[in-house]
Each structure stands twice: as C-alpha cells, then as structure tokens.
Amino acid sequence: MVYTFEVVPAIVLIGPADALAGLRGQLSDSPLQVFTEYQVREAVEFIATHKPDIVAIEHKLPVRNIANVLTGLRLVLVPVFLIALFAGDGHETAWRFTAFVIFAVAVITDRFDGALARSYGMVTEFGTLADPIADKALIGAALIGLSMLGDLPWWVSVVIMAREIGITVLRFAVLRRGVIPASRGGKLKTLVQAVAIGLFVLPLSGPWLTGAWVVMWAAVVLTVVTGADYVVSAVRDSRGRPAGH
C-alpha cells in the first residue's frame, strides 16, 4: 500500500494514496478554505472519527503572514486617512485628493488580504477577528468624518454603520455554528459602498456630485437589503441545525 501526504488549508493529511484522492474531492467541494481555526479542529476530529486510515494534523498558521500584514496596514491607514481628510479646513482640494488616495489604497488592501488568506490557506483567528474590525474602522471613519464636515447627512452614516456593526456582531455570535459566507449581494454592497464613499471624499460639485449621490443611494439600498438577507440566513441556519452543533 502506498502512503503519501497532502497539505490542504490548515490541515496536513497522511494516508493511503487512494483514500487521500477520495478525501481531496470532498475537501475541494467544501468551504474549508474559509474555515476558522476552531472549525479546522472540528474537521480534524471528524476525519479522525470517520476516516481511520487517514491521519489529519492541524497545521498552525503563523499570525504574521502577508494577509494579516495587509489587514494591519489597513488599520494603520485609518488615522492617516482622517488626518488628510480634516487637514486645513477639511475642504482643501489637495488634501481631499490625498485622503482619497489613502482611502483607495486601504480599500485595495481589503481586496487582496481576503483573497490571499482564502487562496493560500492563511486564514487565522487573528485575521478572522481583525479583518472585519479594520473594514468597519475604515468605513466608519470615512462616514463619520464626512458627516462631521457636513458633506454627508448623518442619517446615511447611521444607517450604514448600524448595519455593518450589527452584521459583524451576528457573524461572531454564530461563528461556532459556521461561517456565514459573503453573498454576491454582500460583495456588491461592499464595492458600491467603497465607490460611493470615495466619490464623496473627492471635492466634487455639479453633475459629478449628483452622480456621487446616485451611487450613495445605491449603497444605502444594498446595505439595508443585504443586511436583512444575512439576518434571514442566520435565523434559517440556526433553526436547521440540531442543538449543540
């Protein structure tokens, strides 16, 4: 019998080649790549119980990986962005363009850290906790800053931040039951929010400002609709699972 080993995100598998081939197919169809470390431990225990011919070893991921470094960079950029946003009287053209560039760089890091973590098995408990905090800190800082400067009504900031904080709390509340995957609507919401806020950071006027308001209204609608969808999904999932699981 030929024994071999494979490394899937956060787990090392050792066993007969044919058994690993069958298990590889099961793992490739599962959301293992976005599992938290707690869920990886559950997966290891499941394999130990149901696949006795395969040894599954949890592979501890270092906190200091490129995905987490990008998340940390995004957190550091939040106060830098606010300094640029409020520089001068808060409406100086040069500083507003500077703030826009900083905001854009921070948004881009959000795009890459998540993709790297999922693609290369870099998902860690630190990243699972810090990534949404960095996202909300950036979006919240921009919204509150724009409202303080009188460029964005407070009700827009309150609606968006209430949804973001509420869904983040909900995700952590159901974390041990499983990750609530980001829906296509949720990903579109994130993109539209970033574009809308970026447009408001820029010193726009006339038809350009009207266009920015169209995008912001789309962001508000998507924020409310996807928030309701997440709540419905979480309730449905909790009712569909037996107690204690």
Domain ranges of the chain: 3-58, 66-240
pLDDT tens-digit series, residues 172-214 = 776 655 555 556 677 788 889 999 999 999 999 999 999 999 9
Three-state secondary structure call for residue 7 = strand
Q: Which of 17-31, 112-126, 196-210 has the lowest mean pLDDT?
A: 17-31
pLDDT at 175: 61
Burial 175-190 (b: 16+ CB within 10 A, else e): beebebeeeeebeebb
Q: What is the DSSP letter of 123?
A: -
Cβ of 23: how many Cβ atoms within 10 Å?
19
- Give yes or no for residue 57 having a pLDDT over 80: no
pLDDT at 208: 95
pTM comes to: 0.68
The counts of H helices and E strands in the chain are 8, 3
Q: For helices 125-148 and 154-173, what crossing angle results, to 10°?
A: 170
Three-state secondary structure call for residue 36 = coil
Contact 125, 101 (CB under 8 A): no
Phi-psi region of 47 (alpha: psi -120 to 50; beta: other; left: phi over 0): alpha
- Give yes or no for residue 224 having a pLDDT over 90: yes
Task: Report the distance separating Cα 91 and Cα 25, nearest Å.
Answer: 56
User: What's the whole-number average pLDDT of the chain?
Assistant: 75
Contact 77, 105 (CB under 8 A): yes
Q: Name which CATH class applies to 66-240.
A: mainly alpha
Long-range contacts of 175-182 (CB under 8 A, 24+ apart): 175/36, 175/38, 175/128, 176/38, 177/237, 177/238, 177/241, 177/245, 178/39, 178/237, 179/31, 179/34, 179/35, 179/36, 179/39, 180/230, 180/233, 180/234, 180/237, 181/31, 181/34
Across 10-24, 112-126, 144-158, the highest mean pLDDT is recorded for: 144-158
Task: Indicate if the alpha-carbon torsion angle 47, 48, 51, 57 is positive or negative.
Answer: positive
Three-state secondary structure call for residue 242 = coil
pLDDT at 103: 96
191 CB-contact burial (10 Å; exposed 0-12 / middle 13-18 / buried 19+) = middle
- Output the six-digit token pair for 226: 């996807």
Q: Which helix (H) or strand (E) holds 144?
A: helix 125-148
